Amino acid sequence: MTEEQFSPFFERIERPNPDKAVDFQRHGRLKHLIFGSQLNVPLLEKLCRSADTIRTMARTVDGHRSLRNLLAHKRAMLYFTQPSTRTFLSFMAACQILGITCNEVRDPKTSSEVKRESQTDSVRMFSSYFDVIIMRSQVEKFAEVCAYMMNDLEETEQRSVPIINAGAGSDEHPTQALLDMYTIYRTFRFPQSTAQESSRLSQLKREYPDLVSGPQQKTYLFCGDIARGRTVRSLATVLAQYPGVRMFFVAPDHDALRLDKKLESNLIASGVDIRQFGSLDETVDGQPILAQTDCVYMTRIQREHNSPETETELAALDLEPFRLTKSRVNQLKSFSAILHPFPRDRVVGEIPTEVDQDPRALYFRQARNGMWARAALLVHLFDASEDLIYAHSQSLQSSS
């Protein structure tokens, strides 16, 4: 991506996010999804409801069939020039659930980029053939630039399609924040299990009197590569909207990894109580930080961003204090959620596989939630939420 491709959009890129968000919505609905703070609380709650509806419908053959008709007239381009397993596959599965036909470009060597076609021209070409472009790139702000390009095309009454940022450099990963929030909503909903039993929440309240349902009034602990983890940036920004949220950031003592000043000041400006630590074993107010945590968000050290000097410096770091071992898991509250955007590093083992059996280890469910949450996002972008509700009611009638 050259400077020349970015330059027409510089002024727009330099604006604060709330100003940009206006360009990425239409009639109160998302037009493009570029950064986490576009996911406000009412929208998240709506998307979580749609995701629940889709997952319920997908349990029956009839429900599956009517989901597949919902967006069968749409085509999606998955333009992923950076490695991906979960984001790519869950978007593809989400498209398949909704009947959207998808195609992919993953290796630019197979596209005309080898003939010196610019990436912006490539994206504009995709918009000629497809109805949505879901894109991951190592270039920060590339998805944002493409969204402006689409808006400019629309201004001149040319073809324009929604852009979904599926990961942009070390900057933002809003759809990961969406599925993380869906997992957090589901976990902290504390549903009633049986009629005889009092609700799980009132049982838990005996041990944790201040506990409330929902993402608010909770302590979130982020551990690992805080500075370069785009998932951390997007999720922390989204969580900052909820009242009473406290965030613990646990990272090795290195500038490349610690919470960066920009995110720190944004979170403080949103009223979040932030604490930073150099180990998972630290305490605050005389109590272990893990014992005060409602949700742990583990991340891997993102070696691919290392410069040769950082590589040498990071190789010398002791990562043991940043591993969520079984004994550390034992310090967590009984209802806590252990999340990880994945992939986890099998050599470092920031979450050892022995933790996988713990009921609080939600990372595999979290990844599956990505499929439902991304399907809900596509339904929203294509303005098919009412159709989804109708299809659900029809499938309920036909099964009764």
Sites of contact with ligand NCD (CB under 6 A)? 86-87, 167, 173, 176, 230-231, 300, 302, 341-342
Task: Output the six-digit token pair for 136.
Answer: 């991951």
Query: At its nearest, how many Å lie between ligand NCD and the CB of residue 224?
Result: 9
Q: Which C-beta is closer to ligand NCD: that of 335 or that of 342?
A: 342
Quick one: how many helices (H) and strands (E) in the chain? Answer: 16, 13
Q: Which C-beta is closer to ligand NCD: that of 170 or that of 395?
A: 170
Q: Which C-beta is closer to ligand NCD: that of 106 or that of 205?
A: 106
Side chain identity, residue 39: L
Q: What is the DSSP letter of 386?
A: H
Q: Report how far residue 260's alpha carbon sits from residue 270's, in angstroms, rounded to the nearest whole number.
A: 16
β-bridge mates for residue 104, sequence order: 78
Whether residue 71 contacts residue 201, with contact meaning beta carbons closer than 8 Å, is answered with no
Task: Output the six-digit token pair for 191.
Answer: 């549903």
Q: Which C-beta is closer to ligand NCD: that of 137 or that of 231?
A: 231
Q: What is the DSSP letter of 172?
A: B
**How many residues are given for the chain?**
400
Q: Which C-beta is closer to ligand NCD: that of 20 or that of 136?
A: 136
Instruction: Determine phi and psi for 93, rounding to 5 degrees.
Output: -65, -40
Task: Provide the b/e sequence for 345-358 (b: ≥16 CB within 10 Å).
Answer: beebbbbbeebeeb
Q: Which C-beta is closer to ligand NCD: that of 176 or that of 293?
A: 176
Angle between helices 230-239 and 174-187 (to 10 degrees): 50
Q: Report how far residue 68's alpha carbon sits from residue 60's, in angstroms, rounded to the nearest whole number.
A: 12
Burial of 253 from C-beta contacts in 10 A (0-12 / 13-18 / 19+): exposed
Query: At its nearest, how many Å lie between ligand NCD and the CB of residue 325?
Result: 20
Report the alpha-carbon angle 373-376-382, nearest 5. 145
Coil, strand or helix at 102: strand
Query: At its nearest, how many Å lie between ligand NCD and the CB of residue 83?
Result: 8
Query: At its nearest, how many Å lie between ligand NCD and the CB of residue 220?
Result: 17
Query: At its nearest, how many Å lie between ligand NCD and the CB of residue 369?
Result: 12
Task: Output the six-digit token pair for 334.
Answer: 């009984």
Q: What is the DSSP letter of 361?
A: B
Query: At its nearest, how many Å lie between ligand NCD and the CB of residue 350?
Result: 10
Q: Which C-beta is closer to ligand NCD: that of 150 or that of 164?
A: 164
Residue nearest ligand NCD by beta-carbon distance: 341
Q: Which C-beta is closer to ligand NCD: that of 85 or that of 158?
A: 85
Nearest CA to 230 out of 309, 299, 164 is that of 299
Whether residue 239 contacts residue 220, with contact meaning beta carbons closer than 8 Å, is answered with yes
Nearest CA to 221 out of 302, 284, 286 is that of 284
Query: At its nearest, how many Å lie between ligand NCD and the CB of residue 106?
Result: 14
Whether residue 179 contacts residue 366, with contact meaning beta carbons closer than 8 Å, is answered with yes
Query: At its nearest, how many Å lie between ligand NCD and the CB of residue 341?
Result: 4
Q: Which C-beta is closer to ligand NCD: that of 324 or that of 391?
A: 324
Query: At its nearest, how many Å lie between ligand NCD and the CB of residue 85?
Result: 8
Query: At its nearest, how many Å lie between ligand NCD and the CB of residue 114?
Result: 25
Neighbours of 255 (CB within 10 A): 9
Task: Output the six-digit token pair for 71.
Answer: 């967006």
Query: At its nearest, how many Å lie between ligand NCD and the CB of residue 397?
Result: 38
